[in-house]
């Protein structure tokens, strides 16, 4: 991998044409070789213009008292929400980001699934009076990105030679997540934190490693970058490659579960975020299967290192390794049940 492919997503939304078949082949190459791609030519509102991004990111500019009402319980012990909600800057922990995330009740208020399952916890919302029209804006973007995600899944099915719905069926009533993220500039971080995040000899002078190298846990991630860019993917030779960014474009990477699910045919590529002395924002969308979806070997996949299991059980074990969720303990479901 010497560069990340940039693909026009338009044919995904049409029928069986030569243009769609060519795009399917290109997506298959990107998924199996680079593990990354950038999609352009997206329809509204999946086309995240600067105006649309700014409208969504307004929630991060709420007064501190308003944001605190949305904090996860870890950061505000009196709040009931443990899984969904706001995660503030924690410079004392070396965490140089603030974020808030929302689940599928953004488009399905009557959330399906076990209401006692923590993974099905309702989102927490800012007051309409504080951000008029904001929830409608977020709902439209969430629905559009979910539709795009299912179109990419269908393309992967065709590229892998699977029957229609073999992958896509697991995403019916999925548990996807939309996150809004802001990284402060180096001058906004305590000097000790900035030093800890300094990239050193692995990048330009003054750059910070805002998000450490990792591969995503799940299946497909879309990321809207701002003009500062900063997302990088690791090539097989160990070098870091800048992921292309253009107005309205979405970077796409594939997660660890999809790599296991396909026996390694699809790559979960390691990536990181590098920033400079200015604020940076991003909007990632994580396309996730339903919590109770049964993940089992695809035809021809080697599952020697992965036992078939429910998606909820898989992601629960993975997510508790991340700092934001380490306080969740072992209890995932109510009524005395422990997953």
Structural domains of the chain ordered from first start? 6-328 (2.60.120.330)
Q: For the segment 205-262, what is each residue's pLDDT rounded down to a tens digit?
A: 567 777 778 888 889 999 998 887 788 989 888 888 889 888 899 999 999 999 988 8
Q: What secondary structure letter does DSSP report for 243?
A: P
Query: Which has the closest alpha carbon to 332: 132, 114, 18?
Result: 114
Q: How many other C-beta atoms are found inside a 10 Å radius of the C-beta of residue 263?
A: 17
Give the whole-angstrom CA distance, residue 207 versus residue 40: 28
pLDDT digits (tens, 9 = 90+) for 130-176: 999 999 999 999 999 999 999 999 999 999 999 999 999 999 889 99
Cα angle at 196 between 190 and 200, to 5 degrees? 125
Query: Which residues contact residue 32 at a Cβ distance below 8 angstroms, ignoring those fewer than 6 apart?
Result: 265, 266, 267
State both tokens at 261: 């699910």
Average pLDDT of span 289-299: 87
Q: Is the pLDDT of residue 188 over 90?
A: no
Which DSSP category does 207 fall into?
-
Question: In angstroms, rounded to a whole number, what is the distance separating the alpha carbons of residues 33 and 13?
Answer: 24
**Confidence (pTM):** 0.91
Q: What is the pLDDT of residue 111?
A: 61
- Asked whether the predicted pLDDT for residue 192 surpasses 90, the reply is no
Return d(Cα 86, Cα 125) in angstroms, integer: 10
334: confidence class by pLDDT, cuts 50, 70, 90: very low
Please report, for residues 9, 149, 235, the alpha-carbon distance to residue 250 in angstroms, rounded to integers and kept in the order given: 10, 11, 19
Q: Give me the sheet containing 280-287, strands edge to edge.
A: 6-8, 36-40, 250-254, 220-225, 280-287, 177-183, 98-102, 85-87
Dihedral sign from CA coordinates of 21, 174, 286, 338: negative
Looking at the predicted structure, is the pLDDT value of residue 277 above 60? no
């Amino acid at each position: 991998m010497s560069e990340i492919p940039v693909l026009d997503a338009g044919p995904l939304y049409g029928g069986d044409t030569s243009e769609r078949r060519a795009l399917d082949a290109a997506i298959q190459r990107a998924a199996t070789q680079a593990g990354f791609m950038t999609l352009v030519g997206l329809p509204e509102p999946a086309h995240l213009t600067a105006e649309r991004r700014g409208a969504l990111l307004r929630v991060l500019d709420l007064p501190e008292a308003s944001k605190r009402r949305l904090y996860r319980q870890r950061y505000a012990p009196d709040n009931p929400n443990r899984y969904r909600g706001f995660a503030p800057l924690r410079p004392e922990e070396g965490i140089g980001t603030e974020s808030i995330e929302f689940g599928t009740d953004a488009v399905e208020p009557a959330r399906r699934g076990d209401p006692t399952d923590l993974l099905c916890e309702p989102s927490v919302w800012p007051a309409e009076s504080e951000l008029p029209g904001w929830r409608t804006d977020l709902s439209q973007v969430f629905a559009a990105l979910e539709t795009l995600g299912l179109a990419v899944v269908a393309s992967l099915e065709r590229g892998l030679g699977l029957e229609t719905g073999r992958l896509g069926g697991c995403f019916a009533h999925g548990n996807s997540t939309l996150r809004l993220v802001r990284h402060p500039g180096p001058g906004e971080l305590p000097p000790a934190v900035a030093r800890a995040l300094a990239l050193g000899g692995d990048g330009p002078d003054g750059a910070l490693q805002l998000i450490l190298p990792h591969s995503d846990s799940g299946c497909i991630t879309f990321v809207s970058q701002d003009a500062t860019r900063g997302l990088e993917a690791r090539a097989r030779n160990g070098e870091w490659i800048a992921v292309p960014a253009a107005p309205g474009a979405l970077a796409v990477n594939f997660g660890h579960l999809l790599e296991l699910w396909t026996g390694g045919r699809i790559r979960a590529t390691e990536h990181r975020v590098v920033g400079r002395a200015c604020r940076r924002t991003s909007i990632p969308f994580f396309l996730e299967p339903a919590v109770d979806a049964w993940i089992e070997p695809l035809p021809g996949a080697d599952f020697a290192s992965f036992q078939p299991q429910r998606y909820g059980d898989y992601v629960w074990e993975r997510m508790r390794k991340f700092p934001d969720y380490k306080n969740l303990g072992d209890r995932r479901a109510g009524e005395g049940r422990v997953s």
